[in-house]
Every structure is written in structure tokens, then in C-alpha cells.
A = this chain, B = another copy of it.
Amino acid sequence: MIIPKIYLIGSGNVAWHLAHALIKHSLPLKGIWSRNNLTALELSNSVNVPLLSKNDLPKLQGVFFLCVSDKAIPEIADFLSSKILIHCAGSVPLSVLTAYTNNCGVFYPLQTFSKYRNLTFSDIPILIESSNKEIEKLLISLCHNLSCKNYFYTSEQRLKIHIAAVFANNFSNFMFTLAHYYLIYNHIDTDILKPLIKETFDKINSRLPIECQTGPAIRNDILTIEKHLSALKDTPDLKKFYSFVTESIYLFYRNNEKNTKF
């Protein structure tokens, strides 16, 4: 299938990585527009693709990738309702686009994106959904051209996968942040945690994380937990956080033993 001209709306982290991946794989990215002039210019320069003005957009023919904030999607969809529109959001249903156009789809790359990272885009699972078979073919072909694996999930399933991703990335990263924060607060070199963090990841590569849990919470080791809470008295928010997560771990595994949900 010949990929039509591609236009990118947005210049945030997802737009950045998608633009670079399209160019790397010689796909016809023909223009970029974003409300943020500065980051749009930076992205346009970085991939050597024309920077568009908003007034240009209605005249162009092709596929429009909306890599914008969730709440900006309906407004852009309304403005470009005669076009092929693809959004890239985990928690926005396809119906937000079908309200404006019959030719639309979702192309959701399940990954955490930061501009400064060199990501291998082809490692990223792409969750696709489409309003018709033509768009489905287009999205499959795009994934194929990007060397990405595509997955068919409904809007409802995609929302759930996004929630799981929040736990797996955002929340886990916050735990590493708090570990670092607490050591820095106590003037201790954070490098000492590196082998532990490496093993944390290596372990769940070969076993389910539910089988990898160790530490005072799962042992219900009240003596150690009390010592930790007492040591955390100077950082009351961190203490409250420790307490809440510890109780949750205990409750989760107790429920799991009884086969009741969490």
C-alpha cells in the first residue's frame, strides 16, 4: 500500500519521536503544525520538514496525526473534519473522532516518551483502532513500514492498558524517585541503589512481578515497618506514603491468597 502524505499536528514528546521515526523510515511526512511555535520550529528543523501555519491545513490532502493533548483533540477534529484523522492517545476513545469524520483511527504507541531519549521506535507496541477497513489497512501498513508490531484493541481495552502503563511506568518511576530523594535528603550517594534496581528489573524479566515481591510489607514484619516509620518522622509525607503502600502490599497479597479482588 502506498502511504499518503502525512501531516503532524503537535510538537510534544510523542510528536517528536513519531516525526523522527517517520523520517528515519522514509515515510512521507510533509509538514508539521503546532500551537506552540517554538517547539514546532525546533521539531521542524530537527527533521527538516516544513513548518505549516494553521491556515494551510484545510487545503492539504493526506493523513493528519493528532499528537496533541487529549482535550485539544475534539477542537482539531472539528477544524479538520474533512480529513483522515488519527489520534495517538491512550485514554481517548475513537468515538471522539468519529463524531467529526468517518475516516479516522487511533495509533497509540505504548511507551514513555521524553525528547532527550534515543528510542528505538520499532520496539514500541502500537495499539490501533479504525473507523473502517481502509484506515485499518493504512495503519497496519504504517506500523509495517515503521517495523512496529501492531495490536488491535478497542477504545475500552486501550484505556485499561493505559491505566496499567501508569502503574508500570509512572508509579514505578515515582518509587525510584522517592528512594533517591530520601537518600539525597540524608546525604547518601544514590549510586549504592544501582545493583538493587538492576536486579529488580532482571527479576521481572524471568518471573511474574507478583512472585518477586520481598521485603517487610509482604512478610508483615511489623518490627521493621515500625523502625522505618519511626525513622521517617522528619519527612511526614514520605512516612504517610510508606505506610499506605505497605498496607496496600499486605492487603493485596492477603486478598490474593483468598482469591478476592484488590
A45 to chain B, nearest CB (A): 24
A70-B221, A111-B199, A214-B169 given as contacts; is B182 within 8 A of A164 (CB)?
yes
Cβ of B111 and Cβ of A180 under 8 Å apart? no
Cβ of A241 and Cβ of B248 under 8 Å apart? yes
By secondary structure, the A interface counts as helix
Interface status of A112 (Cβ within 8 A of chain B):
yes
**Chain copies in the assembled complex:** 2
Cβ contacts A199-238/B at 8 Å (1 or 0 each):
1110110011110111111100101100110011001011
**CB within 8 Å of B: which residues of A?**
13, 69-71, 91, 110-114, 116-117, 119, 123-125, 151, 153, 157, 159-183, 185-186, 188, 190, 192-193, 195-201, 203-204, 207-210, 212-218, 221, 223-224, 227-228, 231-232, 235, 237-238, 241-242, 244-245, 248-249, 251-252, 255, 261-262
Cβ of B70 and Cβ of A173 under 8 Å apart? no
Q: Which residue of B lies closest to A249 (CB)?
A: B174
Chain B residues with Cβ below 8 Å from A175 are: 167-168, 171-172, 175
Instruction: A117 to B203: give the CA distance in the assembly, Å.
Output: 8
Chain B residues with Cβ below 8 Å from A244 are: 244
Cβ of A252 and Cβ of B174 under 8 Å apart? yes
Cβ of A183 and Cβ of B169 under 8 Å apart? no
Cβ of A245 and Cβ of B171 under 8 Å apart? yes
A160-B186, A177-B252 given as contacts; is B192 within 8 A of A172 (CB)?
no
Cβ of B261 and Cβ of A185 under 8 Å apart? yes
Cβ of A200 and Cβ of B262 under 8 Å apart? no
Q: Which residue of B lies closest to A122 (CB)?
A: B195
Q: Which 4 A-B pairs have the closest CB atoms?
A: A170-B215, A168-B179, A176-B209, A167-B179
A160-B231, A178-B252 given as contacts; is B197 within 8 A of A168 (CB)?
yes
Instruction: A95 to B161: give the CA distance in the assembly, Å.
Output: 49
